[in-house]
Structure 1
Amino acid sequence: MDTGETEQLHAGALPRMVGGRYVVQAPLGEGGMASVHRAHDSVLGRTVAVKMLHAELARDRSFRERFRREAQAVAALSHPNIVAVHDSGEDSGDAGVVQFIVMEYVQGRSLPELVRDAASEGGTIGLDRALEITASVLDALACSHRQGLVHRDIKPANVMVTDDGTVKVMDFGIARALESEATSMTRTGTVLGTPLYLSPEQALGKPADARSDIYSVGCMLFELATGTLPFTGESTMSVLYQHVQEAPPIPSSVNPSLPPAVDVIVARALSKDPAERYPDAKAMADAIRRITAGQASTRQLPPHEPPTVTADQARTRQLPPQEPPTTADIRITMSPRWGVNDPRLRRTGRVALVYSLLVWGFAFAGLCVGAFVLLPEITSGSSHDAGSRTPDPRATGALSGCSPSSWSVPSFTGMSPAEARSCAEIAGLKLEENSTLGRKQDKDTVVAQEPAAYQSAKSGSTLKIWVSKGGDPRAVGDLANCEVEESHGKIFNPTFKGMTAAKARVCADIAHLKLVEAGTVQDKRTPAGQVAKQEPGPETITAGSTVKVWVSSGGDPRATGTLSDCDSDATSDKPDAPHFVYMTVADARACADIAHLKLEEHTVPGETWDAGKVVKQEPESFAAVEPGSTVKIWISSGKP
Structure 2
Amino acid sequence: MTDDPTEAIGTPTQAERILSGRYRVDALIGRGGMASVYRGYDLTLGRTIAIKILRSDLAQDNTFRTRFRLEAQAASRMAHPSIVRVYDAGEDLDDDGSGGTTHTPYIIMELVRGRLLKDVIAAGPVSADDAAGYIDGILEALEYSHRAGVVHRDIKPANVMIDDDGQIKVMDFGIARAVSDTSATVAETTTILGTAAYFSPEQAQGAPVDARADLYSTGVVLYELLAGRPPFVGNSPVAVASQHVRDAPTPPTQVGDDVPAQLDPVVLRALAKDPAQRFPDAATFREALDAALDGRAPSQRQLTHLTEELYGAGQRARNEVAHTLTQLSSETGTTRTQSGPPVAWVWAAIALVIALIIAVGYWVVRTDPLDLRAADTVDVANVSGWSLEAATAELEGRGLEVTLSSEPSDTVAADIVIGTDPAAGVSLGIGATVEIVVSAGPLMAEIPELEGDNEDAARAAIDGVEGLMLGRVFPQNEPGVERGTVLNAQVGGSDVEPGDEVLQGSSVDLTVATGRVTVADLTGFTIDAAKRILEEELQLDVEVEKDNTCEESDLVTKQDPGVGDVQIDETVTLTHCSGDDDFVDPDGDEPGYRPLQESTALVLP
TM-score by length of 1: 0.45
TM-score by length of 2: 0.47
Which protein is bigger by CA-based radius of gyration?
2
